């Protein structure tokens, strides 16, 4: 079956709006992806027909809401091939999922323990671990990157030792698009007894991820990067690891029994889900996975690779252009600079022409420091983007070069 991008675009109402008098070209998918009608419908339907608090009520609405929410959890479990539904903790997003694990290890790590963070991380996969090290006296080691935009795997092998407890690395870099060799990173960590958390926020929109095949200890992502709503995400953890960790927050939903002498905690997943969750968001997360699966992640990856190749070839023709991580395995992200132009100025001119790109450090300042640049212009593509839209961006970049130089 041919990949019918025009038909797919009909599912996304926002793609038909105008920005600054022009039809929107949305190339900021790595920051958040757009929302298709079935996902919007799931949210509207929930509030129109089912809205009630879950896991508590005997009444019909509460039971229906609970069933829909737990069905979404099972969809997420199947999609990522977790062994048990209770290994899927629904969080407010990647950031909260990471903080949940970082806070849990504060009572487990000892002074002298070591944790490894890659130089290519989003700030949300750096700062919580710095806070953890401050609390525990553990040492933060940085897995360095190389000029071509990949991780230095030789340095990684040297960093690992018997004191290494945890390793944190993204599956795909949000700033560069690089796909990191996470299966190998995990197996090397396991060989010294360390556990690995994979930040999958940029991988899950483009690939089918199988947490068992990867042997990931923890794997996290946000629904809004995969056509779902904001404010909901996944923390996958192997049951044995999640059981070992203390709860993240105290409150309702996460307890078995409460007295002022002693409170006992609920079983997984509820131990980590204090308070009323984003119920509509969780259900819509499930609808988003249904939607991308109805197109097929393999078809999506193939189509996006063709967009990336087309855009790379077109951009290479522009004078003074530097494309970062150009020749490595990556998703459809183009991070670039044009000699003499500030990324922010280029982004502003593109915006005037209805084209949304991201400029700046992309919450990954250490990468920018590594390249000694203030930031980049990042165009990140999704399966609903087209070659015609890329042509429009290239024309707009040519105008920006003329105007700014």
Ligand X SMILES: *Cc1c(COP(=O)(O)O)cnc(C)c1O
Nearer to ligand X, 50 or 202 (CB): 202
Output the smallest distance, CB 60 to ligand X, in A: 33
In this chain, which of 29, 35, 50, 95 binds ligand X, going by CB under 6 A?
Answer: 95
Task: Please select the residue that binds ligand X; options are 36, 93, 205, 347, rule is CB under 6 A.
Answer: 93
Return the range that interacts with ligand X (CB under 6 A); candidates 3-11, 69-77, 89-97, 204-212: 89-97
Residue closer to ligand X by CB (options 87, 96) is 96
Name the pairing type of β-strands 164-170 and 195-199: parallel
Handedness of CA 367, 371, 374, 380 (dihedral sign): negative
List the catalytic residue out of 100, 133, 227, 363: 363
- Shortest reach from residue 231's CB to ligand X, in Å: 8
In the complex with ligand X, the residue whose CB is nearer, 94 or 382, is 94
The distance of closest approach from Cβ of residue 118 to ligand X in the complex, given in angstroms and rounded to an integer, is: 11
Least separation, in Å, of the C-beta of 91 and ligand X?
8
Q: Which of 50, 124, 150, 180 binds ligand X (CB under 6 A)?
A: 124
| Cβ closest to ligand X, residue 77 vs residue 202 | 202
CB-side exposure of 391: number of CA atoms within 13 Å? 3
The Cα 360–Cα 181 span in angstroms is: 26
Nearer to ligand X, 139 or 230 (CB): 230
Is 133 one of the annotated active-site residues of the chain? Answer: no
- Do residues 379 and 334 make contact, with C-beta atoms less than 8 angstroms apart? yes
- Biggest CA pair distance of the chain: 72
Beta strands in 51-204 (DSSP E): 88-91, 114-118, 139-143, 164-170, 195-199
Q: How far is the CB of 400 from ligand X (least distance, A)?
A: 26
Residue from 29, 50, 103, 170 binding ligand X (CB under 6 A): 170
Residue numbers 342-401 binding ligand X by CB under 6 A = none
222 touches 248 (CB < 8 A): no
Instruction: State the minimum distance, in angstroms, from the CB of residue 335 to ligand X.
Output: 13
- Give the total of residues touching ligand X (CB under 6 A): 14
Segment lying near ligand X (by CB under 6 A), choices 20-28, 120-128, 159-167, 185-193: 120-128
Residue 201-240 contact track with ligand X, rule CB under 6 A, x = bound: xx-------------------x--x-------x-------
Q: Which stretch binds ligand X (CB under 6 A): 66-74, 135-143, 153-161, 198-206?
A: 198-206
Phi-psi region of 65 (alpha: psi -120 to 50; beta: other; left: phi over 0): alpha
199, β-bridge pairs: 170, 220
CB of 398 to ligand X, least distance (A): 29
**Among positions 28, 87, 199, 389, the unique one binding ligand X when judged by CB under 6 A:** 199
> Residue 201 CB, nearest distance to ligand X (Å)?
3
Examine residue 153 and say whether the peptide bond preceding it is cis (omega within 30 degrees of 0): no
One of 29, 150, 165, 174 touching ligand X (CB under 6 A): 174
Nearest-angstrom CA–CA distance, 291 and 300: 12
Binding status of residue 28 toward ligand X by CB under 6 A? no
Instruction: Give the x/- contact pattern for ligand X in 34-63, rule: CB under 6 A.
Output: ------------------------------
Chain positions contacting ligand X, by CB under 6 A: 93-95, 122, 124-125, 170, 174, 199, 201-202, 222, 225, 233
Q: Indicate which residues carry an active-site annotation.
A: 363
């Amino acid at each position: 079956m041919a990949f019918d991008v025009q038909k797919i675009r009909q599912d996304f109402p926002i793609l038909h709006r105008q920005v600054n008098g022009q039809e929107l070209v949305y190339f900021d998918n790595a920051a958040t992806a757009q929302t298709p009608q079935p996902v919007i419908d799931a949210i509207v339907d929930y509030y129109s027909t089912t809205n009630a608090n879950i896991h508590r009520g005997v009444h019909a609405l509460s039971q229906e809401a609970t069933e829909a929410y737990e069905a979404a959890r099972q969809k997420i479990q199947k999609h990522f091939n977790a062994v048990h539904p209770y290994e899927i903790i629904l969080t407010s997003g990647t950031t909260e999922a990471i903080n949940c694990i970082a806070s849990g290890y504060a009572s487990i790590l000892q002074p002298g323990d070591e944790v490894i963070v890659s130089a290519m991380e989003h700030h949300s996969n750096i700062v919580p671990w710095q806070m953890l090290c401050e609390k525990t006296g553990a040492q933060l080691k940085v897995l360095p990157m190389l000029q071509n935009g990949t991780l230095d795997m030789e340095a990684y092998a040297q960093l690992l030792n018997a004191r290494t407890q945890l390793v944190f690395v993204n599956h795909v870099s949000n700033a560069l698009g690089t796909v990191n060799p996470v299966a190998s990173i995990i197996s090397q960590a396991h060989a010294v007894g360390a556990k690995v958390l994979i930040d999958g926020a940029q991988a899950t929109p483009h690939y089918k991820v199988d947490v068992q095949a990867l042997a990931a200890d923890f794997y996290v992502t946000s629904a809004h990067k995969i056509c779902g709503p904001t404010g909901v995400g996944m923390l996958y953890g192997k049951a044995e690891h999640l059981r070992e960790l203390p709860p993240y927050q105290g409150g309702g939903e996460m307890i078995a029994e409460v007295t002022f002498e002693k409170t006992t905690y609920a079983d997984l997943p509820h131990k980590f889900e204090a308070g009323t969750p984003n119920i509509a968001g969780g259900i819509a997360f499930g609808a988003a996975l249904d939607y991308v699966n109805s197109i097929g992640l393999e078809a999506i990856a193939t189509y996006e690779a063709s967009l990336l190749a087309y855009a790379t070839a077109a951009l290479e023709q522009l004078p003074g252009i530097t494309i970062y991580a150009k020749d490595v395995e990556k998703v459809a992200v183009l991070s670039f600079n044009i000699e003499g132009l500030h990324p922010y100025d280029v982004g502003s001119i593109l915006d005037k022409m209805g084209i949304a790109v991201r400029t700046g450090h992309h919450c990954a300042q250490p990468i920018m420091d590594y390249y000694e640049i203030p930031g980049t212009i990042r165009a990140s593509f999704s399966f609903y983007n087209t070659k015609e839209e890329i042509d429009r961006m290239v024309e707009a970049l040519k105008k920006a070069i003329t105007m700014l130089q």
